[in-house]
């Protein structure tokens, strides 16, 4: 009998930066209450899923060697979660996942979460499940706090663990320079370090989120630059003191402002326009304060099929 093997499905998915990250109290489940503004950036991973006799995961590209290919990989958790939801055997899902990394690994840009979001969307098509974005977002939230945003993209206000999202109007495109560090930082360790710092002293906290939303709506990068803030920055800098030098070097190179991205150690620098970003990137890469430098723009859309460029 002739059997038709579905063609592989590829999804492109963006990195994120937190323009504002306010970390509140620790909840009973161990997570911290957050108020954050995410922006999706034009640094992407590509995730391909295909039917295979030998299920599993393979990773290539930027930092691939340090990405786990076992059950702790978030994309694999996504495969298992979706298999379970639709009544397939989660231990033998019959798919292979190939990840091509463009997002820094353990960099505070939600690369692992992005791969999980991409795997959900790709499998939804490969298995012809026809789940809507809301249903996928519900599964995404169980996999990790940043996974729903990677599906949604754009600019969004996140509350709860960061998984409850409201889209935010961002006029114009913002231009960023991204400085990648030599080694990653583990997110739980950075949250614990903030808890420790808060027991010891009173590190500064970011202000209210409303002015950030107003600056985004105005589209003025100078206004937004004054308001960038991240409560996790003190903790990331405490664990990686060299980040202070990186942050200073970006501003000296001509950026409007710099910030640690999420739990770090990646630093993101907001620039006036695309030309300025190229100039800042060139100068920063010569300053010897980071492993490599990229230019990126935001906001960009969330996870999307690249196979045929349909929106969902
Ligand atoms: O949700 P996710 O698995 O991405 O979170 C990774 C870790 O980051 C959690 O285990 C927790 O230590 C920390 N975290 C937190 N509060 C949040 C989000 C993450 O403490 N809102």
Please name the residue whose Cα sits nearest to atom 12 of ligand 1.
188
Cβ atoms of 289 and 173 within 8 Å: the answer is no
Q: Are strands 229-230 and 95-101 parallel, antiparallel or unpaired?
A: unpaired
Task: Please check whether the domain covering 174-298 is classified as CATH 3.30.70.890.
Answer: yes
For domain 9-168, give the fold: Ribosomal Protein S5; domain 2 (3.30.230)
Whole-angstrom Cα Rg for the chain: 19
What pLDDT is recorded for position 203? 87
In this predicted model, what pLDDT tens digit does every residue of 250-264 receive, in sequence order?
Answer: 999 999 999 999 999
Give me the catalytic one of 45, 77, 101, 146: 146
Distances (CA, A) of 305 to 62, 309, 312: 21, 5, 7
Residue of 27, 74, 188 with the most ligand 1 atoms within 8 Å of its CB, for mutation: 188
In this predicted model, what pLDDT tens digit does every residue of 135-171 receive, in sequence order?
Answer: 999 999 999 999 999 999 999 999 999 999 999 999 8
In this predicted model, what pLDDT tens digit does every residue of 169-203 receive, in sequence order?
Answer: 998 899 999 999 999 999 999 999 999 999 999 88
Q: Is 146 a catalytic residue?
A: yes
Question: ipTM score here?
Answer: 0.97
In this predicted model, what pLDDT tens digit does every residue of 29-86 receive, in sequence order?
Answer: 999 999 999 999 999 999 999 999 899 999 999 899 999 999 999 999 999 999 999 9
Cis geometry, peptide bond prior to residue 299 (ω within 30 degrees of 0): yes
Domain layout of the chain by residue ranges: 9-168, 174-298
Cβ atoms of 36 and 208 within 8 Å: the answer is no
């Amino acid at each position: 009998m002739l059997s038709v093997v579905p063609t592989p499905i590829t999804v492109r998915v963006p990195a994120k930066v937190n323009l504002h990250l306010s970390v509140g109290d620790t909840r009973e489940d161990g997570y911290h209450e957050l108020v954050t503004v995410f922006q999706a950036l034009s640094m992407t991973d590509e995730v391909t899923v295909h039917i295979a006799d030998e299920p599993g995961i393979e990773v290539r590209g930027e930092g691939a060697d340090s990405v786990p290919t076992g059950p702790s990989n978030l994309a694999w958790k996504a495969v298992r979660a979706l298999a379970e939801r639709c009544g397939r055997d989660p231990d033998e899902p019959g798919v292979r996942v190939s990840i091509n990394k463009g997002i820094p690994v353990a960099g505070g840009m939600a690369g692992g979460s992005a791969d999980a979001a991409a795997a959900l969307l790709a499998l939804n098509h490969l298995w012809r499940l026809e789940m809507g974005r809301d249903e996928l977002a519900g599964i995404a939230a169980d996999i990790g706090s940043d996974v729903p945003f990677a599906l949604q993209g754009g600019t969004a206000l996140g509350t709860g663990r960061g998984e409850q999202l409201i889209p935010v109007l961002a006029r114009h495109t913002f231009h960023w320079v991204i400085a990648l560090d030599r080694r990653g930082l583990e997110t739980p360790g950075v949250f614990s370090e903030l808890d420790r710092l808060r027991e010891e002293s009173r590190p500064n906290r970011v202000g209210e989120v409303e002015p950030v939303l107003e600056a985004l709506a105005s589209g003025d990068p100078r206004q937004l630059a004054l308001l960038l803030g991240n409560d996790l920055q003190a903790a990331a800098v405490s664990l990686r003191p060299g980040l202070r030098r990186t942050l200073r070097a970006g501003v000296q190179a001509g950026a409007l402002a710099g910030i640690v991205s999420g739990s770090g150690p990646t630093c993101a620098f907001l620039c006036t326009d695309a030309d300025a970003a190229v100039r800042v990137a060139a100068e920063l890469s010569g300053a010897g304060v980071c492993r490599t430098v990229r230019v990126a723009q935001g906001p960009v859309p969330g996870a999307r099929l690249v196979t045929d460029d349909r929106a969902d």
